[in-house]
């Protein structure tokens, strides 16, 4: 799975828009017909998946962080992560997932490309982010080298 954040998210971080302790974050799934880029800014229902066990808007994602690795004089990385999000008993096919802030006008925080269609057939559909650390977390901001 590849992940990236839109340019707008980086600006919003500097503006103090997102509150990772209090805001509600959602994870929505999209078909391969969806088109995302660093210019994507807000959640949309266009090309969102539909199917048994899936509701438009996605599911709440428990965000952890932000956390920091590295110290003074070291390369520092600030990152956030989220717990696995699971659609039990689902029948659906998705290519992308979008993490967005439902508390702040549905602004996109991260875009995830599964790099191929993933499906479930009456079973769980799970989006499991990588390990929550500076090298692997799905969304991270790093000091320039």
- Which pLDDT does position 144 carry in this prediction? 67
Domain ranges across the chain? 2-142
Regions in the chain scoring below 70 on pLDDT: 73, 144-145
Q: Tell me: the pLDDT tens digits for 81-120?
A: 899 999 999 999 999 999 999 999 999 999 999 999 999 9
pTM: 0.90
- Which pLDDT does position 138 carry in this prediction? 76
Cα 26-30-31 angle, rounded to 5 deg = 170
Pairwise CA distance, residues 26 & 135, whole Å: 24
**Upstream peptide bond of 39 is cis (omega within 30 degrees of 0):** no
């Amino acid at each position: 799975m590849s992940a990236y954040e839109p340019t707008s998210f980086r600006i919003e971080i500097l503006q103090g828009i997102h509150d990772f302790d209090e805001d509600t974050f959602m994870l929505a799934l999209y078909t391969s017909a969806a088109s995302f880029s660093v210019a994507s800014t807000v959640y949309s229902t266009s090309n969102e998946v539909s199917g048994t066990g899936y509701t438009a808007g996605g599911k709440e994602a428990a965000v952890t962080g932000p956390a920091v690795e590295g110290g003074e004089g070291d390369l520092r990385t600030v990152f956030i992560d989220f717990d696995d999000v699971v659609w039990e008993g689902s029948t659906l096919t998705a290519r992308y997932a979008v993490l967005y802030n439902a508390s702040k006008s549905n602004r996109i925080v991260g875009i995830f490309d599964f790099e191929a269609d993933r499906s479930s057939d009456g079973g769980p559909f799970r989006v499991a982010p990588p390990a929550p650390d500076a090298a692997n977390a799905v969304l991270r901001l790093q000091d320039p080298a």
